[in-house]
Amino acid sequence: VKEARVKAIDINADLGEGFGAWSMGDDEAMLRVVSSANIACGFHAGDPGSIRRTTSRAAVLGVAMGAHPSLPDLVGFGRRAMAVTAGEVYDMVLYQIAALAAFARLAGSMLRHVKPHGALYNMAAVDLALACAIADAVRDFDPRLMLYGLAGSRLLEAGCQAGLTVVSEVFADRGYRSDGTLVPRSEQGALLHDPVQVSARAVAMVRDGGVESVEGVWVPLDAQTICVHGDSPGAVGLALALRAALVSAGFAVLAPGA
């Protein structure tokens, strides 16, 4: 008798991205949809209080926690590239991971992964020196942490070099260029909004191991985790639809290593 194997897929979201009196998205709802949460550490969003609340809720709801370190740019939400050195990146990532990890542990859980945020994520996708700085900081803090990065990126390459378990990420609601990079948010075709289309695309990416670029070329992608965004109107609905589609297609939504 042949045994059926259920393939697992992770759904992750950036959460805890309020700051002080300001909130961002519906974290409580998103924590009930995703298997992994990337939690802001204080440099683009997040403050000690929000970190405690978010790690606490993630622990209660059994969501795997990751640190979501950023460039120091609160007013720009960490989305603006900065000419930082590899040394600066190593130090800022270590600082943020360490702070987040303590809250995860005191919430009765533990830090499981690291995913750089915004401009730092994009810079590390193409700049090996910065990617290595991030991977080294993660490994030096705790070599058991997994490193999330864009499928096919330098960041995953650096993570492998550092001996880390890497998790290859895809975006079901973003357009891809033929070289595997994302269409910038400022361009046509950068964002898909229709839940049905995005959900179908997610299933296809995971099942087929790739996606068609905006230029019509097939781009092979290793889809180990799917990012859903929590900060746009309709975000929760889209995330729920995506999750339901994956489950219907026979996938188990689970954090890596869970």
Residues in contact with a second copy by CB under 8 A are 18-24, 42, 45, 47-49, 51-52, 72-77, 79-84, 87-88, 91-92, 94-99, 101-103, 106, 119, 140-141, 231
Q: Which helix (H) or strand (E) holds 9?
A: strand 8-15
In the complex, minimum distance from the CB of residue 212 to a second copy, in angstroms, rounded to a whole number: 29
Tell how strand 210-212 and strand 218-220 pair up: antiparallel
What is the rounded distance in angstroms from the CA atom of residue 211 to the CA atom of residue 205? Answer: 6
In the complex, minimum distance from the CB of residue 159 to a second copy, in angstroms, rounded to a whole number: 18
In the complex, minimum distance from the CB of residue 53 to a second copy, in angstroms, rounded to a whole number: 9
Q: Pick between residue 51 and residue 223 the one whose CB is nearest to a second copy.
A: 51
Using a 10 angstrom Cβ sphere, with 0-12 exposed, 13-18 middle and 19 or more buried, the burial of residue 48 is: exposed
In the complex, minimum distance from the CB of residue 96 to a second copy, in angstroms, rounded to a whole number: 8
Q: Pick between residue 107 and residue 150 the one whose CB is nearest to a second copy.
A: 107
Strand partners for 169 = 150, 225
Q: Pick between residue 32 and residue 95 the one whose CB is nearest to a second copy.
A: 95
In the complex, minimum distance from the CB of residue 236 to a second copy, in angstroms, rounded to a whole number: 18
Q: Pick between residue 45 and residue 211 the one whose CB is nearest to a second copy.
A: 45
Distances 14 to 18, 211, 238 between C-alpha atoms, Å: 11, 23, 15
In the complex, minimum distance from the CB of residue 108 to a second copy, in angstroms, rounded to a whole number: 11
Handedness of CA 166, 172, 178, 184 (dihedral sign): negative
Q: Give CA 5 to chain center in angstroms.
A: 26
Q: Pick between residue 156 and residue 162 the one whose CB is nearest to a second copy.
A: 162
Q: Pick between residue 48 and residue 220 the one whose CB is nearest to a second copy.
A: 48
Helix (H, G, I), strand (E, B) or coil at 44: coil
Q: Pick between residue 24 and residue 236 the one whose CB is nearest to a second copy.
A: 24
Residues 6+ apart with CB under 8 A from 76: 44
Using a 10 angstrom Cβ sphere, with 0-12 exposed, 13-18 middle and 19 or more buried, the burial of residue 212 is: middle
DSSP class of residue 253?
E
Helix (H, G, I), strand (E, B) or coil at 167: strand
In the complex, minimum distance from the CB of residue 81 to a second copy, in angstroms, rounded to a whole number: 4
Helix (H, G, I), strand (E, B) or coil at 122: helix
